[in-house]
Amino acid sequence: MEVVVAHARHGPGERNEMTAAQSPDPWHERHGIDDTVVGRRARPSGAVDAEDTVLRVAPQGTPATGREPDASVRPAPRLHGVRVAGQDLLLDAPVVVGRRPAGPRVGSGPVPRLVTVPSPRHEVSGAHVDVRQQGGIVVVTDLRSTNGTRVTEPGRVPVVLRQGESLVARAGTIVDVGDGNLLEILPPQRIIPTKEPLL
């Protein structure tokens, strides 16, 4: 520990508390100077001053209470759905609709659900439109179709998506891919996960 010695001068009329035996040099007595040792105050191990602010970082993934998160108190996820070809599908995975839809050649991300729709006049492309949930929103993307994708949100003017364009769609939105094939975005519902039976 570094020790700093400071000399404090006292007046001629003041009494010097240091005795001659304690003084390292009588010169200090003659000139009215005392030795004052200034050092770091010792603190008991683990003690904290009342004025100190102590911040402790909780381990990652653990709440500040120190208890592990309880899965039973986590809110259940809310998933939108899409109604297409007479079936209601949850958007727990992307849905690709087309005349001859195919999955991605390179496997990245969740595997899409492929839905085939009839197109006698060939207005629907092979893989025409992609509908997926991203966070709490639904995104409709035209998959570079030939005739585009017509999207009509409730109370709004219809919009035609050109090749590769995307649009955030809310519940009640109607997606027209041609040849009378309509998709409807369904409102979100809370999904309660089922527990696997114990073997």
Query: What proportions of the chain, in percent to the nearest 5, are helix, strand and coil?
Result: 5, 35, 60
Q: Provide CATH code, domain 78-190.
A: 2.60.200.20
Q: Express each pLDDT in 143-197 by its tens digit.
A: 999 999 999 999 999 999 999 999 999 999 999 999 999 999 999 987 765 555 5
- Where are the chain's structural domains? 4-38, 78-190
Residue in the structure block whose two tokens are 């729709």: 117
Q: Express each pLDDT in 10-32 by its tens digit.
A: 555 555 554 444 545 555 555 55
SS (H, E, C) 150-168: EEECCCCCCEEECCCCEEE
Alpha carbon of residue 196 to chain centroid: 28
The whole model's pTM is what?
0.59
Q: Express each pLDDT in 108-122 by its tens digit.
A: 678 999 999 999 999
Selected residue with higher pLDDT from 98 and 63: 98
